[in-house]
Amino acid sequence: MIRDNRDHLFETAPTQGEISGLEVRLGDWALANPVMPASGCFGPELGALMPIAELGAVVTKTLFAGIRSGNPAHRLTESAHGMLNSVGIPSPGTEGFIRAVLPAYRGFGVPVVASLGGLTVEEYWQVTEELAVAEPLIDAYEINVSCPNLEHGGLAIGTDAATVERVVAGVAERTRLPLLVKLTPSVTSIGDIARAAEAAGAHAVTVCNSFPGMVVDPATRTTVLGNGVGGLSGPAVKPLALRLVWQAASAVTIPVIGCGGIATARDVVEFLLAGATAVQVGTATFTRPYVMVEIVRALPALCAELGVTDLAELIGGLRSTSPRGRTHA
């Protein structure tokens, strides 16, 4: 529930213009700060609840070529220390996105990252081609390779390095915009998938999407989610996501964007130390829509407490915790 005093909080807190030392770079692309929403967890309607202009960027919901209605109810359910969703990625299609959705995102005055989806390899390319007319309003693409691959029985496209490389290479051939690639955690080696994305032309990888899970209702002997299984997110997955960020950052030379259970400025610092350059906030926004702005405003004081004058001092700064001189994998 939104606190009644949130307006007072925003009025008395420092403005974005007074914050220094938070800029990060994703290749040649500079962001005023490292905080952005995770795809699927933010819509333009939140602009009425907080000053979006203080974020580093906004990320749209994943876009498909055609109109999608999503999965049957129930789509969301709580779990201990987290949430499971089986929304199914509803989409207005590229035409509806360009006409009715993109202008609202652009109106916030911060960089816009459009999330690309596809149920086939070719659909990613099709979406990219159809968005070409709108690219002056888009700053970067995030290729969501966690989508179910209809060409291979519904397995996530991102579970196969060769397929990821093919998807990303095809998108790179069709645009000059920076490319982020959002990886699935459902792989044996996140490093292999990250390297495939880098080899194909990705400018950064986002680690990671939600973890597959299930909630069962003993009274009805059925699954709670209408689709049976869903994606687990929230504080419960943070240790898992941190490890994957560290592994991905160790495997590639391009930046990593950390995602998974982030709800505080201290969480952000932990992900930066593990190797992330920027972060995405998802589940925390469901109960605290203003949490991203709170995080941005809390970062300078936390950095001062840690003796840090620039976020770059934190990125990849995790010290060894292993007696053998390296962090355990």
Question: What angle do helix axes 121-130 and 161-174 make, rounded to 10 degrees?
Answer: 20
Cα angle 305-307-311, degrees, rounded to a multiple of 5: 100
- Our answer to whether residue 208 is catalytic in this structure is no
Of 147, 208, 259, 303, which residue is the catalytic one? 147
The catalytic site residues sit at 147
